[in-house]
A and B are shown apart, each in its own frame.
Chain A
């Protein structure tokens, strides 16, 4: 197919490189340098999508990132990317795009019936229409609306591409590479400053590429290209095209998305699709330009109706005439530029319609004083209806209509720190206010300097000023310096189905209705009508809405004010925010030193925080995890087992005040703990709730080793540092986390001593190394190690630690030494079963709501000393007789389970929250007892041993009779521990 709307010459496209692409299954051709939108227009395709609500035919409105209409699904398969703006999608060979938001074909969209129903689909129609009957919402209304609404569709497949994150630092960040940005970059770059210049476009130059202005002896586009080339040659300047600054954050930090591979069919090997940069800069010059705004009139949304500046961009930059017959509707001089540029390229100008009586005249085409009041053309513009100032009407034949309602400086980034723009009467637009983000200067059109000369000078002066340079080393080329001549004009009197926000289908009528219904704040207007809430965030529509609102309220536009601009400036893929942190890489994975050994044993692993821990070690013939766990438990209690406990947090506490310090962080006393002894410690929060538990081993007068639970290693360490630095700053005590410095193994069971005697160099007989002893020892003939005689399982048990690099070797050595006792490695499940059998509290019991009293450890809280949480733990409400107490629970029928989460109710009593007596926290099957057991909390539980209760869980249909028993199911006297 020929590119019938491609102009014979001109443009910044490479006519030697022809690119084939597909749109809605049809094949077309474009050139390198095209966007999808310019290539479609070149092929005479004006219809590019359907609107969101009414499914009206739509084409491009703009030639940039502010585009509301021409959204397509780009690419296919797992790379399918919905809501891609055709105006920014760079054309590449083999590009595949589909229109979206239609049922049936683009030309015959079945949902265009909505347009006929528009009287029922006005602002707030959801709230008004789908109210009754209530039951219909879930079954009927919502599924139908969800099907009909929404923009493009997702592939629902994993994104095959990689996204990266990076950090950049500079003296000066320049946002935008139009005349102002380039002049600023050249000034700063030549002065030697460390500069980053970023522009969202793939071709830098901004409007210079879209206009026919000369800069000195060059065309604007040539001057831009030469300037970019010079900047790229400077080692102190980083030139970043295809890079959108999406947000201005605190203290000179900017977010930037660089599209590395979006212009390619697939990313090059090893290259990411996009990079999310965090840019740290001392100073910023915002030179983001301005965005033209349309004028609202009846049926102003037909394909072919677009911004006058976009028509100019397509003609001058892409050598595309949107149509061979074009009309212009304007309220300012800039609109006339489009007419003269297009006329010069041989395009027929039907007329320029200007709302001003004193509009400039032309010898080349007709200038009418009047307004466009309606248009015709089902799938694309054919005629525009004009009402002249004398009241008569005229019909203009045209396939494209350019709208120019004035230009809005792109103030968005100036508002990301809650800055408010101020109104400028001369421009009839908001310009940046005085409360800019720290370090930001605004230059060029973004600052309201609309002429090329103004932009060049503004950019240069901004760079001189922020870098504190005296004179300009840069001679600026001579350029146009036309003033802005505009008559504010927002919408044509009497129109109703005149689109303000084309992406969300918000009309002038909707804004009037919302005002009538009492939505007077601009923020309310936005949310009620959804004006400006689409992916374009109202870049072309907000001002029109504000102006109408101001008129209805009898206020000025600045009195109505704007809604708040928030990041991101343009839609940003979630993939860019996620970067490499996805799937398995979502967080780092921590492996213990004996992980490889455990893998060799065929262990099943479980995630505990960031750690992978062996959960159980299946053996041949075992069909369920329970068989493995039961075997591990029985073997450990019968002979000996070994478990990797490296993941428990370890904190080294040293200093002459170390014991006093532990007295502060633990509710029980540590001052009198003898050297060579270990003690269980319970840590409270300041509000008296249990925070964590563990052991503290006193290796020397001034040296303790504290353990924490795996999950709380970080918060407990943070808390300990808080107590040390903020509460007791003069204590002589030092802390360091040694969790990763030591590999630690629990060796448990009646034969544990016999195994360790073969490894430990010292005497560890019961007399020499009794229960709760600890010592610095050596193993295997001299390797430094630590031994603790502590037990979580309730058996005779030890924990032995060696420096991390020896962890794997020690585990293998323990297995070797234990072979004659059939030593059994056990995982976290068996560990859990044994601690429940023993009645030891763990994370399920220390769940952030329980006190020492609840845990049956109330008497541990020393009243003779000050410790964190001791004062508030004495509050009356935490010390009632009928408080929850930790108890053991077993089923009356040994076949039954006692699932965690189920609640305890009185026998024969009602089952409801008011009669709740307690709940199960931890449950398991005890292979030693041959039935299920559980730990839980029960009101006044310690006085209710032997009571029968109902264990219920209505959600999971549990109803079991249970008996309340001691939490110590195994060896309640603790004889095994001391053996």
Chain B
């Protein structure tokens, strides 16, 4: 596969390490009343869709960016690639 790195252009997937669902960005609040339940869901309950999926890829043999790659798990088509940091900020994460 070829991943269109937002900063570096097209890069071979072999340069990357795959982690999984980009929902891992949405780490729960540790002080919430339901923190135990929330972290359980965060850690263990993930979708495994046959189709479009937002995934985390780490450019380990490159610039060490974490990317959010929107990829069809059936066709391997990639529709969007963004820096995970930008996605995290857009989803309200900060410090």
A718 CB–B CB distance under 8 Å: yes
A874 touches B36 (CB 8 A): yes
Inter-chain CA distance A438–B95, complex, in Å, is 42
Inter-chain CA distance A874–B39, complex, in Å, is 11
A871 touches B66 (CB 8 A): no
A866 touches B30 (CB 8 A): yes
B46 CB–A CB distance under 8 Å: no
Inter-chain CA distance A871–B87, complex, in Å, is 24
Inter-chain CA distance A657–B42, complex, in Å, is 25
B55 to chain A, nearest CB (A): 12
A147 to chain B, nearest CB (A): 41
**Residues of chain B within 8 A of A728, CB atoms compared:** 93-95
Pick the residue among A252, A657, A718 that contacts B2 (CB under 8 A). Answer: A252
A718 touches B94 (CB 8 A): no
Binds B, one of A137-145, A700-708, A719-727, A844-852: A719-727
Inter-chain CA distance A714–B60, complex, in Å, is 9
Q: Which B residue's beta carbon lies closest to that of A876?
A: B36
A741 CB–B CB distance under 8 Å: no
A871 touches B39 (CB 8 A): yes
**Residues of chain A within 8 A of B2, CB atoms compared:** 250-253, 280
**Residues of chain A within 8 A of B89, CB atoms compared:** 729-730
Pick the residue among B1, B17, B40 that contacts A250 (CB under 8 A). Answer: B1
B30 touches A727 (CB 8 A): no
A642 to chain B, nearest CB (A): 33
A-B contact count (CB 8 A): 81
B95 touches A721 (CB 8 A): no
B88 touches A726 (CB 8 A): yes
B36 touches A725 (CB 8 A): no
B43 touches A721 (CB 8 A): no
Inter-chain CA distance A91–B40, complex, in Å, is 66
* Also in contact, A871 and B24, with CB within 8 A (given A729-B93, A730-B94): no
Q: Which A residue's beta carbon lies closest to that of B24?
A: A726
Q: Which A residue's beta carbon lies closest to that of B29?
A: A866
Q: Which A residue's beta carbon lies closest to that of B93?
A: A729
Inter-chain CA distance A595–B39, complex, in Å, is 46
**Residues of chain A within 8 A of B25, CB atoms compared:** 726-727
* Also in contact, A725 and B66, with CB within 8 A (given A417-B75, A871-B35): yes
Q: A711-752 toward B: CB 8 Å interface, digit per residue (1/0)?
A: 000100010011001111111000000000000000000000
B30 touches A871 (CB 8 A): yes
**Residues of chain B within 8 A of A725, CB atoms compared:** 65-66, 83-85, 88
B43 touches A872 (CB 8 A): yes
Pick the residue among B39, B77, B88 that contacts A727 (CB under 8 A). Answer: B88
Q: A266-298 toward B: CB 8 Å interface, digit per residue (1/0)?
A: 000000000000001000000000000000000
B22 to chain A, nearest CB (A): 8
A222 CB–B CB distance under 8 Å: no
A875 CB–B CB distance under 8 Å: yes
**Residues of chain A within 8 A of B88, CB atoms compared:** 725-727, 729
* Also in contact, A722 and B66, with CB within 8 A (given A729-B88, A729-B94): yes
Inter-chain CA distance A875–B37, complex, in Å, is 10
Q: Which A residue's beta carbon lies closest to that of B65?
A: A725
A684 to chain B, nearest CB (A): 12
Q: A390-423 toward B: CB 8 Å interface, digit per residue (1/0)?
A: 0000000000000000000000000001000000
Inter-chain CA distance A657–B95, complex, in Å, is 9
A109 CB–B CB distance under 8 Å: no
Inter-chain CA distance A731–B95, complex, in Å, is 5
* Also in contact, A251 and B43, with CB within 8 A (given A725-B85, A870-B30, A871-B30): no
A687 CB–B CB distance under 8 Å: yes
A51 to chain B, nearest CB (A): 40
Inter-chain CA distance A866–B83, complex, in Å, is 25
**Residues of chain B within 8 A of A438, CB atoms compared:** 77
CB-contacts of B25-75 with A (<8 A): 25, 27-28, 30-31, 35-36, 39-40, 42-43, 56, 58, 60, 64-66, 75
* Also in contact, A727 and B93, with CB within 8 A (given A686-B42, A871-B36): yes
A721 touches B36 (CB 8 A): no
**Residues of chain B within 8 A of A718, CB atoms compared:** 17, 58, 60
**Residues of chain B within 8 A of A874, CB atoms compared:** 36
Q: A19-51 toward B: CB 8 Å interface, digit per residue (1/0)?
A: 000000000000000000000000000000000
Listed residue (A686, A725, A866) with the most chain B CB atoms within 10 angstroms of its CB: A725
**Residues of chain A within 8 A of B65, CB atoms compared:** 725
A374 CB–B CB distance under 8 Å: no
**Residues of chain B within 8 A of A660, CB atoms compared:** 95
**Residues of chain A within 8 A of B27, CB atoms compared:** 686, 727
B58 to chain A, nearest CB (A): 6
* Also in contact, A726 and B43, with CB within 8 A (given A731-B95, A871-B36): no
Pick the residue among A687, A714, A727, A729 that contacts B43 (CB under 8 A). Answer: A687
Q: A431-452 toward B: CB 8 Å interface, digit per residue (1/0)?
A: 0000000100000000000000
B68 to chain A, nearest CB (A): 9
**Residues of chain A within 8 A of B60, CB atoms compared:** 714, 718
**Residues of chain A within 8 A of B40, CB atoms compared:** 872
Pick the residue among B30, B35, B39, B84 that contacts A726 (CB under 8 A). Answer: B84
A476 to chain B, nearest CB (A): 35
B75 touches A251 (CB 8 A): no
Inter-chain CA distance A721–B51, complex, in Å, is 28
**Residues of chain B within 8 A of A872, CB atoms compared:** 36, 39-40, 43
**Residues of chain B within 8 A of A714, CB atoms compared:** 60
Pick the residue among B66, B76, B83, B95 that contacts A730 (CB under 8 A). Answer: B95
**Residues of chain A within 8 A of B28, CB atoms compared:** 871
CB-contacts of B9-25 with A (<8 A): 13, 17, 19, 24-25
Inter-chain CA distance A725–B39, complex, in Å, is 19
A462 to chain B, nearest CB (A): 23
Q: Which A residue's beta carbon lies closest to that of B1?
A: A250
**Residues of chain B within 8 A of A866, CB atoms compared:** 30-31
Pick the residue among A417, A687, A722, A729 that contacts B19 (CB under 8 A). Answer: A722
Inter-chain CA distance A729–B91, complex, in Å, is 11
A251 touches B1 (CB 8 A): yes
Inter-chain CA distance A718–B24, complex, in Å, is 14
Inter-chain CA distance A718–B19, complex, in Å, is 10
Inter-chain CA distance A260–B89, complex, in Å, is 52
Inter-chain CA distance A657–B27, complex, in Å, is 19
A686 touches B39 (CB 8 A): yes
**Residues of chain A within 8 A of B36, CB atoms compared:** 871-872, 874-875
Inter-chain CA distance A928–B70, complex, in Å, is 59
A203 to chain B, nearest CB (A): 33
**Residues of chain B within 8 A of A870, CB atoms compared:** 30
Q: Which A residue's beta carbon lies closest to that of B30?
A: A866
A721 touches B42 (CB 8 A): no
Q: A235-252 toward B: CB 8 Å interface, digit per residue (1/0)?
A: 000000000000000111
Inter-chain CA distance A875–B83, complex, in Å, is 33
B1 touches A726 (CB 8 A): no
A885 to chain B, nearest CB (A): 24
Q: Which A residue's beta carbon lies closest to that of B58?
A: A718
Inter-chain CA distance A874–B36, complex, in Å, is 8
Listed residue (B65, B77, B93) with the most chain A CB atoms within 10 angstroms of its CB: B93
What are 15 residue pairs bridging A and B, where the CB atoms are less than 8 Å apart in the complex?
Answer: A251-B78, A252-B2, A253-B1, A417-B75, A438-B77, A686-B27, A721-B58, A721-B66, A722-B56, A725-B66, A729-B85, A730-B95, A870-B30, A872-B43, A874-B36
Pairs of residues from A and B, 9 with the lowest C-beta to C-beta distance, nearest first: A866-B30, A730-B94, A251-B2, A729-B85, A871-B39, A250-B1, A729-B88, A250-B76, A725-B85
List 15 additional contacts besides A687-B43, A714-B60; criterion CB under 8 Å: A252-B2, A280-B2, A657-B95, A686-B43, A718-B58, A721-B58, A722-B24, A722-B66, A726-B85, A727-B25, A729-B88, A731-B95, A866-B31, A871-B39, A872-B39
Q: Which residue numbers of B lie inside 8 Å of A, CB to CB?
A: 1-2, 13, 17, 19, 24-25, 27-28, 30-31, 35-36, 39-40, 42-43, 56, 58, 60, 64-66, 75-78, 83-89, 93-95
Q: Which residue numbers of A lie inside 8 Å of B, CB to CB?
A: 250-253, 280, 417, 438, 657, 660, 686-687, 714, 718, 721-722, 725-731, 866, 870-872, 874-875
